[in-house]
Amino acid sequence: MNDNQQNAPAGLALVGDIGGTNARFALWRGGRLDAIEVLACADYPRIEDAAREYLRRIDRPLGDIHSVCLACAGPVGEGDFRFTNNHWVIDRQKFRAELGLSHLLLVNDFSSMAWATVSLDAKHLVCVREGTPQKDRARLIIGPGTGLGVSSLLPTAGGGWEVLPCEGGHVDLPVTSERDFAIWQQLRELHGHVSAERVLCGRGLENLYRISCGIDGVQPKCASAAEIGELAMAGDPYADKVLEHFFLWLARVAGNAALTVGALGGVYITGGIVPRFLDRFRQSGFAEAFATRGKTSGPYLAQVPVWVMTAEHPGLFGAGVALEQALKSGR
């Protein structure tokens, strides 16, 4: 440990939530975020440069930081990390050496959403389906946004948690009605394999609206997911019908995932779409469709509660929680 680290504020860490376009940074101490800043990835040749710029902006010397957790968009392994949608590469050894770190933790960006559920205040969770969570069972985290993220969280001995990252957004899209099948057929013609993400994300909502208009002979009034949502909120009955179908498909995919991982600890919905239309989502058929299925699976899901996460920066918060647990466990 160098002299700067000896004089650094106790427990102060740097956390980041790094996507293809933006890098969000914050300080983490005592279970709280502070000094949140958003930087454009394209403005910096390397992630080390962005981290240094963040600390400069908040007037913190590099020596104050000795632990870092970065939530990264993409599958995180043991080696170096190359971002899918920007030019940055994280060489773990070089990153630690250049910034003088004693600890560097990389986690998948959606895994950080799972970590966030461990410590989020109740004010950041809106219940959309009543139930009784079982504390010793898995939790499911699912979120339609730019893509469809899915992960699960398992309780471990000693009161800890283990995140299981996955690629659950790419499972087959479930088909449960003739209407579903008609849409699925057109998606298959366009894309071959029809994953859940083909419908349950921003571009997926656009797919759903465009194909639905074609099936029904309706002239489209908008093109983007944001426009579809705004039109639905403004009272357009057709856009609202499409948004309802989106929510019902989310219920089916979330219910299937909950059955697969045994998520009797509850389901947490995040991402950029559902929280934006929270009031409409609460009025939708999601809660009923989630557990309306066979005589065995229906009762299994009957008492599984569902919440929507409304925290402004859950990825940053989850990175902080993940770092805390890693430091306590000595990983």
What tens-digit pLDDT sequence spans the chain (331 residues)?
333 344 445 579 999 999 878 899 999 998 899 999 999 999 999 999 999 999 999 999 999 999 999 998 777 877 788 887 788 999 999 999 999 999 999 998 888 999 999 888 889 999 999 999 999 999 999 999 888 999 999 998 878 889 988 889 999 999 999 999 999 999 999 999 999 999 999 999 999 999 999 999 999 999 899 999 999 999 999 999 999 999 999 999 999 999 999 999 999 999 889 999 999 999 999 999 999 888 878 899 999 999 999 988 899 999 999 999 888 876 6
Q: How far apart are CA 223 and CA 201, in angstroms?
A: 14
DSSP letters along 223-268, please? -SHHHHHHHHHTT-HHHHHHHHHHHHHHHHHHHHHHHHHT-TT-EE
Q: What is the pLDDT of residue 76?
A: 83
* Sequence ranges of the binding site: 16-21
State the Cα angle at 83 between 77 and 88, rounded to 5°: 120
* Sequence ranges of the binding site for ATP: 16-21
62 and 100 Cβ atoms separated by less than 8 Å: yes
Q: How far apart are CA 75 and CA 322, in angstroms?
A: 16
Q: What is the pLDDT of residue 6?
A: 41
Q: What is the pLDDT of residue 3?
A: 35
Q: How far apart are CA 68 and CA 326, in angstroms?
A: 11
54 and 107 Cβ atoms separated by less than 8 Å: no
Which domains are present in the chain?
A: 3-113+314-329 (3.30.420.40), 121-310 (3.40.367.20)
Q: What is the pLDDT of residue 277?
A: 95
3-state DSSP assignment of residue 24: strand
CA distances from 319 to 41, 50, 54, 158, 163 (A): 19, 17, 17, 21, 12
- How, if at all, do strands 306-309 and 125-129 pair? antiparallel
